[in-house]
Amino acid sequence: MRPGAAAILAALSLLTLGAAPAREVPLPARMRDTGGGTQLITAQAARTGATSGTVTWWDLRGGRWVRAGSAPARFGARGLVEGTARRQGTNTTPTGLYRLPFAFGTKAAPGGTRLRYRRVGPDSWWCQDNGSRSYNRWTQPRPADCRAAESEHLVAYPTQYAHALVIGFNYSRPVRGRGAGIFLHVNGRGATAGCVSVPRNAMRRILAWADPARRPHIAIGTAGGKTAISRY
């Protein structure tokens, strides 16, 4: 070793030891709004054209957001789009921050589920008919003004809807033509028609974790750009 090299290495070592690693700021802490509760689900894709990404669920503890779990996610077959600009039938997942009205499933609620959970039966439908008074609503049975061809017969999807959470997109005051039946549900064979999906075990974990008293919401978005999840 050249003269003086040992001293240089020692100095560099001291600098390295003395520098504390930068703590990564949790994703919810970088968002404009998290819904005002102490639980949050984030569904993030790399870009709007992506059909896969990550779902993470978070707890706010002592003023800091802590990751409670994470799973690979699937999005719409045609990617993601700003929720206020979405059109029905485009196979896009709407970005934005949404509440979670209730859960449902063709299977019984996982142990520990505290959210309101509706069991799917043979007469359970989600109305997507723009001409119906029940547009973007669970109906049981299907009303006469809601055409079957324009709706989802929930029992016909035993895999995807084994367990699901209703995402409150276009839900409180539905805008006709914007879209209906956007859920967080169990994976099917590939990308979704506009929902967010995760593996079945992850869906069960999310339902056992979510506490309505803590007002959980879901934020859907991309890593950057106009639909960046941090904008919501």
Rounded Cα–Cα distance for residues 129 and 146 (Å): 6
pLDDT given at position 23: 74
pLDDT given at position 173: 96
pLDDT means per 10 residues, the chain with 232 residues, are: 47 45 85 97 98 98 97 98 98 98 98 98 98 98 98 98 98 98 98 98 98 98 97 94
pLDDT given at position 20: 45
pLDDT given at position 18: 46
Structure tokens at 159: 């895999």
pLDDT given at position 3: 44
User: pLDDT tens, 63-77?
Assistant: 999 999 999 999 999
User: pLDDT tens, 148-166?
Assistant: 999 999 999 999 999 999 9
Rounded Cα–Cα distance for residues 44 and 8 (Å): 44
Sequence-distant (≥ 6) Cβ neighbours of residue 118 within 8 angstroms: 102, 103, 104, 124, 138
pLDDT given at position 22: 58
pTM: 0.90
